[in-house]
Amino acid sequence: MPYPIHTLDVFTTEPLGGNPLAVVLDAHDLDAPTMQRIAGELGLSETVFVLSPSDTGALRRLRIFTPAVELPFAGHPTIGTAVLLAELGLVPGEGRTLSFVLEEQVGRVPLTVRRTPDGTLSAMLTAAKAPEAGAAPPGAELLAPILGLSREEIVTTGLGPRAYSAGWPYLIVPLRDEAARARASLDLGRWQEQLANFWAPSLYLVVRGTGSESARIRARMFGPALGIPEDPATGAAALDLIGYLVDEDRPGDGTHRWVVEQGVEMGRPSRLVIEGEVAEGRVRAARLAGSARRMIDGTLRLP
C-alpha cells in the first residue's frame, strides 16, 4: 500500500542544514512494530507518522519514532510536521498565521505556523507540560570521562549538571567553553556503565554566552539510548533547558527568550528559539520555535 512520505530540514532556512525529518502521512493502518522498522530503515533522528486524532480538538495525531524507540514528544518532529501540514494546505484557515493543535502521547501541543513575505515557514509550539527537574545525576567526576573531558571543563558552580523534562528527559551538562564543547566525544562503554540506566541518559552539552551574548547558547546532544549517536538539533532538550536556565538565573516574571545553536560540528547548523513564561519564579509555559524547509516528496510502498 502506498503512503505519502516527505522529508524536511528543521531548524534551518537553508537546504541540507538543520535536522532532517521524515513524515509519513495517512499512516492509520500501520502498527507500532512496522512504524519502528520504517524509522530504523530511514535512519533519521526521528520519523513521524500522521494519524487521525482521537482528541476532537486536535488537527492530527502524531506518533514519533527514533531508530530505536517511540517518543511521547519531540520538538523537531512537531515543528517540522506542523510546517508540512500548513504547506500542503491541510490546516484550516487563511492568511500568514495559522493556529491549531496536534495530539501526541504527552498530550495536546498547541502550534502557530507563520509564513514570512519571502515564503519561509516557521512554527512555534507550546509544550504540553512545563519543564521540571528530575533525579540527581552522577557528578562531574563520572561525567567527564564519559565525555572525554577533564573534570574542570564541566561547570559545577550554580546548578551544575542537572536533568529536566518537559515531555522527554535530558541531562543538561554545562561546559566551561567552546573548546570543551567542540572536543567532547562520547565514550560509549563508560556511558553504558555509568549512565545508561539513569532517568535521563541522553546528554545535552551547553555553553552559555556572556555579556551581550548571554541569551545565546551553543549545544550538542548525544543520545545512544535513542539510537542517535549525535543529534543536529534537539527541540525537547531545548525546552528542558528553559527549566534549567530559569532555576539557575532566577529571572523576574515575564517572557524570557534564548537562541540555541546546535549541529555545527556535524555540518548541519541549526537555530532553535526558546521562550519561557515565568510567574512567581516558576516556568508556567515553555515554547519552541524554528523554521523548516521541505526537501523530498515521495511514496512509501508496503505490501
Q: Which member of 46, 103, 104, 275 is catalytic? A: 46
CA 43/CA 31 separation, integer angstroms: 18
What is d(CA 145, CA 150) in angstroms, rounded to the nearest whole number? 7
The SS3 assignment for 168 reads: coil
Tell the burial category of 6 from Cβ atoms under 10 Å away from its Cβ (0-12, 13-18, 19+). Answer: buried
Query: Rounded to an integer, what distance in angstroms lies between the CA atom of residue 74 and that of residue 121?
Result: 19
Active site residue 265: no
Q: CA angle at residue 52 from 46 to 54, to 5 degrees?
A: 105
| C-alpha torsion sign, points 166, 242, 254, 13 | negative
Nine cell digits for residue 256: 524570557
The residues annotated as belonging to the active site are 46
